[in-house]
Amino acid sequence: MAIPSIDISSADNYPKPDGIKFGYGTAGFRYNANILSSTVFRVGVLAALRSRYLGGKVIGVMITASHNPPPDNGAKIVDPAGDMLEEAWETYATDLANAATSQDLADRVNELIKNLNIDISTPANVIYARDSRESGPALVKALEAGLKAAHDAKSTDYGLLTTPQLHYLVKSLNTLKSANSYGVPTEEGYYKKLANAYKKVLSGSEPYSITIDAANGIGAPKVSELVKHLEGTIDMTLINGKYEDPSLLNSSCGADYVKTNQRLPGGLDADVPKLKLFCSFDGDADRIVFFYIDEDGKFRLLDGDKIATLAASFLKDLVQETNSGLNIGVVQTAYANGSSTEYLESVLKVPVVCTPTGVKHLHHAAQQFDIGVYFEANGHGTVLFHPDAVAKLQTFQVSSPAQKAAIDTLLALSDLVNQTVGDALSDLLLVLAILTIKRWNPADWNQSYTDLPNRLLKAEVRDRTMFKVTNAERTLVEPPLLQSQIDNLVQKYSQGRSFVRASGTENVVRIYAEAVTQTLADELGVKVSHLLE
């Protein structure tokens, strides 16, 4: 049977700008919004094809540029299980985005349909949402045009959401009628699921007090909504919540600002109370870092590594209590502080896996454990409970009240923690639950290990694709000799470690260095960066 071809002449309304090569990277497409509409149109076309290819499963599209400045925007495709787009399709996305003309695009689309044997009469189902950026509504129009062009895909606009909320909806819609339905596929369903699990974990405890910097982004109204469902079990103050003024988004605030600058976000009084817990979301609320001012008035960051170690230690104790024999592992990237890895392996005795940067890599590695904790140092991460492990806990023969309590807590945590992707709202509740149960203030949390001083630098290079890495980005294989030069430098520094990798989101090469003192870490970083000149 001849496969019918698809007519996408409306692509003429969204011409591709000349001279730009678009790439679907670790975070989807992300550029200045002025040049994005052709790409977002094509994302609409591709999302519809992906849905058809998978027999009509719901696919998500999120319009966001996360922690980037307000003029940027982006588009990311969410796969049916709520995870990131399959890698082979990233290449198709890049290919369609770079078609020079509408005719060229039509040819590439029809070739894809033919090569993948996609039945375009299968109904497609795509849902989408956006963060609070000013360019969002216009890009949504481009997306809708793309969806319509692709044989009128069925689509639903969810308006303003955090990125993890869209992931939740995709997974919930695709599991709606199955035995392991993920959740009620509405925004309300999301809040209720998290709030109910939180209340279950923390019945009868005093509310923990926290101040949240929402980066003036979409996390602000959404966390306020969540707190309403928590009915007094959390004592929240919101700062940088002006999401209705998109020019303020991520401006001197938010997770990326706080992590990169290692300082308080704007919007706080100079006189911040000591030992009080704060956190910062990023612009689309899929990242979170915590911080506080210690007794000496010093700023202390509790980043993704600290969240991972807190979660792993708590979960390990619970699992031991259950006697269920479930295994726990932690997944990190090369950016994880060496002290955190050392603490996990030597003190907690939890296996640690290192993967390349980018959530999809960590996510897949974490799926290999019964309970897989993954966090990037920048605060992006979650805890995955393997479906078999959950089933085992649900049917476990308990022999003591303590064992039953541990199992109930673990099961509630599997509902509390977003199973699709890192989620600032859900991670916030996870951390607060653990701190409440342990009766820890932020300093108690922070003292588990001391971060090794480190420095992150970036260098502009002529061609960053020259930098080829292996060993989860910790070793360069090209340019030749560079790695041995780095090794020679590193061995001169006590507790020295350094690596170089090309950024996946900016046209730069990043240099990370770690050593026993800040002066030495800075010096090592600078020396390694000189090797690149």
Active site residues: 66
In whole angstroms, the minimum distance from the beta carbon of 264 to ligand 16G comes to 22
- The neighbouring-strand residues paired with 302 are 290
- Of the residues 495, 504, 522, 532, which one makes contact with ligand 16G according to CB under 6 A: 504
Q: Work out whether 235 is an interface residue with ligand 16G (CB under 6 A).
A: no
CB neighbours (10 Å) of residue 295?
8
| Residue among 4 and 69 whose Cβ is closer to ligand 16G | 69
- DSSP, collapsed to helix, strand or coil, labels residue 372 as strand
499: left (phi over 0), alpha (psi -120 to 50) or beta: beta
Phi and psi angles of residue 501, each rounded to the nearest 5 degrees, phi first: -145, 155
State the residue for tokens 């940088």: 240
Spatial separation of the C-alpha atoms in residues 304 and 292, rounded to whole Å: 15
Nearer to ligand 16G, 181 or 505 (CB): 505
Hey, is 12 helix, strand or coil? helix
**423 binding Zn ion? (CB under 5 A):** no
Residue among 90, 213, 256, 284 that touches Zn ion (CB under 5 A): 284
Of 65, 319, 359, 411, the one binding ligand 16G (CB under 6 A) is 359
- Residue where the block lists tokens 């001012």: 293
Strand 371-375 relative to strand 352-354, pairing: unpaired
Closest distance of CB 84 from Zn ion, Å: 13
By CB atoms closer than 10 A (0-12, 13-18, 19+), residue 426 is: buried
Pick from ligand 16G, Zn ion, none: which does 378 bind, CB < 5 to 8 A by kind? ligand 16G
| Under 8 Å between Cβ of 431 and 290 | yes
Answer with the entry of Zn ion, ligand 16G, none that 490 interacts with (C-beta below 5 to 8 A by kind): none
* Distance separating alpha carbons of residues 495 and 509, to the nearest angstrom: 23
505 binds, among Zn ion, ligand 16G, none (CB under 5 to 8 A by kind): ligand 16G
Residue 326 makes contact with ligand 16G by CB under 6 A: no
Interface characters, 263-292, with ligand 16G (x: CB under 6 A): ------------------------------
Q: Rounded to 10 degrees, what is the CA torsion of 76, 77, 82, 87?
A: -100
Distance CA 510, CA 516 (A): 20
SS3 53: helix
The reply to whether 167 sits near ligand 16G by the rule CB under 6 A is no
Applying CB under 5 A, among 256, 286, 415, 423 the residue interacting with Zn ion is: 286
3-state secondary structure of 377: coil
Q: Which of 358, 442, 496, 525 binds ligand 16G (CB under 6 A)?
A: 358
What letters, b where the CB count within 10 A reaches 16 and e where it falls short, cover 273-287? eeeebbbbbbbbbbb
From CA 359, how far away is CA 85, in angstroms rounded?
11
Binding status of residue 282 toward Zn ion by CB under 5 A:
yes
Cα–Cα distance, 209 to 493 (Å, whole number): 41
332 binds, among ligand 16G, Zn ion, none (CB under 5 to 8 A by kind): none
Which residues ranging from 23 to 82 are in contact with ligand 16G (CB under 6 A)? 26-27
Backbone angles phi, psi at 437, to 5 degrees: -65, -40
Q: What is the closest distance, in whole angstroms, from the C-beta atom of residue 72 to ligand 16G in the complex? A: 12
Binding status of residue 256 toward ligand 16G by CB under 6 A:
no
Q: Which is nearer to Zn ion, 285 or 520 (CB)?
A: 285
Distances (CA, A) of 220 to 73, 113, 226, 477: 19, 41, 10, 44
Could you tell me which stretch among 255-263, 289-297, 322-330, 502-510 binds ligand 16G (CB under 6 A)? Answer: 502-510
User: What minimum distance in Å lies between the beta carbon of 163 and ligand 16G?
Assistant: 8
Asked whether the beta carbons of 371 and 319 are under 8 A apart, the reply is yes
Of the candidates 231, 237, 234, the residue with the CA atom closest to the CA atom of residue 278: 237
- Comparing CB distances to Zn ion, the nearer of 146 and 164 is 164
Q: How far is the CB of 312 from ligand 16G (least distance, A)?
A: 19
* 497/510 with CB nearer ligand 16G: 510
Work out whether 250 is an interface residue with Zn ion (CB under 5 A). no
Question: Residue 485: how many CB atoms within 10 A of its CB?
Answer: 15
Does residue number 131 form part of the binding site for Zn ion (CB under 5 A)?
no
Q: Which residue has the tokens 């966001």?
A: 64
Kindly state whether residue 256 participates in binding Zn ion, applying the rule CB under 5 A.
no
CB of 72 or CB of 144, closer to ligand 16G: 72
Among residues 186, 505, 522, 532, which is the contact residue for ligand 16G, using CB under 6 A? 505
Q: With binding defined as CB under 5 A, does residue 98 bind Zn ion?
A: no
* Cβ distance to Zn ion smaller for residue 164 or 267: 164
359 binds, among Zn ion, ligand 16G, none (CB under 5 to 8 A by kind): ligand 16G
- Which residues are near Zn ion by CB under 5 A? 66, 282, 284, 286-287
- Which residues are near ligand 16G by CB under 6 A? 26-27, 357-359, 376, 378, 380, 503-506, 510
